[in-house]
Amino acid sequence: EHSERKVNFGPGPAQLPLEVLKNVQAEFLNYNGSGSNVMELSHRSSAFAKIIQEAEQDIRELLSIPESYAVLFLQGGATAQFSAVPLNFLNLKSSQTADYLVTGYWSEKAAKEAEKFGKINWVVPKSDKYRGVPAENTWKLTENSSYFYYCSNETIHGIELEDIPSIVPKDTPIICDMSSNFLTRSFDITKFAMVFASAQKNFGASGLVLVIVRKDLVEKNTNNSIPVTFDYKVQIANASMYNTPPTFSVYIANKMFSWTKRQGGLKSMNQLSDKKSKVVYETIDQSNGFYSNVIENKYRSRVNIPLRIMKDGTANEKLESSFLSEAVKSNMIELKGHRAVGGIRISLYNGVSLQETTKLVDFMRTFQKNNS
């Protein structure tokens, strides 16, 4: 019945668990006796209120989020937060400057967007070849910085920071873009002033960004000219419903949070992420240089794995395109690398199973055998 479904290793929007999709399908024409699809329900209805409240409860439980933090379901994807963060927090401290750790494409985008609104300090020099993260003792931090910003997983370059930077002073708020590794491991939310993640990787449908933010910092904000939908104060006061929220995406997020809980929560997701990425990196490292991933071991992402196929010491685009087309023939799709880095990219979000990853790894070994 589902034989036409392909295995999707895309960077997002990503594959969702079949169990969740079937559940959505079952209530598509009649949600919970309402006689409507969820997307046809008023966002002010009690049925939708229940959905968004359940979603909030589940994510609070999954991450042990204390009451001192607000949980917001906002629009505009993670990109909207690239603007909202400086608008709300750039003037938090006397320096009126924020520190940005740029480790790849997405933190670079965030830093450049923030520069429209004020003074941004790049903690490490700009690179055109991201392969890891410069040692903390080389970072140039601002005295009394308004906040410190970084991205915990660079989706395009495949660089993941497992640890929260330790060199940042205790009283500097830390803000993190967790879009691509959110819910793949547990972390201590109290170490952060704010984290955000767009939904289309590990909890569902695009257009929704989850923001978890310390309420006291939002209270301190003195900027009165923030566009209203970007203003955390307004969003908190209206429980994410100042205007119509992306109701269908919130509904899917609710399903995905409860699926994540049923799987055993973040401890299980962490183990799954470890296992899947391990078999892929083993395949790369045991390929005698046929497959190449150049990221420093310590920073290799468990979620997005970019690689090149090598021949005579250089990346070989012909082999790469034949890899991609043969993968499609074997029902494995969305493996093309981002145009910024080329090659192949394997994304292993929570909706991709170990079994599916093993199928890909078997394919990689066979492809190497047939092409070297």
Residues that bind ligand PLP (CB under 6 A): 12, 77-79, 106, 151, 155, 177, 179-180, 198
Name the residue nearer to ligand PLP (CB basis): 206 or 270: 206
How far, in Å, CA of 187 to CA of 170, rounded? 17
- Cis omega (within 30 of 0) for bond into 13: yes
Shortest CB 14 distance to ligand PLP, Å: 10
**Cα–Cα distance, 147 to 143 (Å, whole number):** 11
* Residue in the shown chain whose Cβ atom is closest to ligand PLP: 77
In the complex, the smallest distance separating the C-beta of residue 208 from ligand PLP, rounded to whole angstroms, is 8
For residue 177, indicate whether it is catalytic: yes
In whole angstroms, give the CA distance from residue 214 to residue 233.
11
Q: Which of 58, 93, 99, 201 is the catalytic position?
A: 201
Using the minimum distance from each CB to ligand PLP, give the nearer residue, 79 or 353: 79
106 is catalytic: yes
Catalytic residue among 58, 93, 99, 106: 106
- Please state, in angstroms and rounded to a whole number, the distance separating the CA atoms of residues 169 and 351: 36
In contact, 272 and 357? CB cutoff 8 Å: no
Structure tokens at 274: 């470890």
3-class SS of residue 4: coil
Q: Whole-number minimum distance, CB 311 to ligand PLP, in Å?
A: 30
Instruction: Mark out the alpha helices in the chain (DSSP H runs).
Output: 18-26, 46-63, 77-89, 105-114, 215-220, 232-237, 247-262, 265-285, 317-329, 354-370
Nearer to ligand PLP, 153 or 293 (CB): 153
Q: Which is nearer to ligand PLP, 89 or 150 (CB)?
A: 150
Q: Using alpha carbons, select from 280, 251, 273 the residue that is nearest to residue 361.
A: 280
For residue 301, the minimal CB distance to ligand PLP (Å) is 10
Any idea what the Cα angle at residue 295 is, between residues 294 and 300, rounded to 5°? 135
Cα separation, 176 vs 190, in Å, equals: 12
Q: Between 75 and 186, whose beta carbon lies closer to ligand PLP?
A: 75
Which residues, other chains included, contact 309 with Cβ-Cβ below 8 Å and sequence gap of 6+? 290, 291, 292, 315, 316, 319, 320, 323, 343, 344
Q: How far is the CB of 55 from ligand PLP (least distance, A)?
A: 18
Instruction: Between 151 and 364, name the residue whose CB sits nearer to ligand PLP.
Output: 151
Query: Shortest approach of ligand PLP to residue 312 CB, angstroms?
Result: 33
Answer whether 56's CB lies under 8 Å from 71's CB: yes
List active site positions: 106, 177, 201
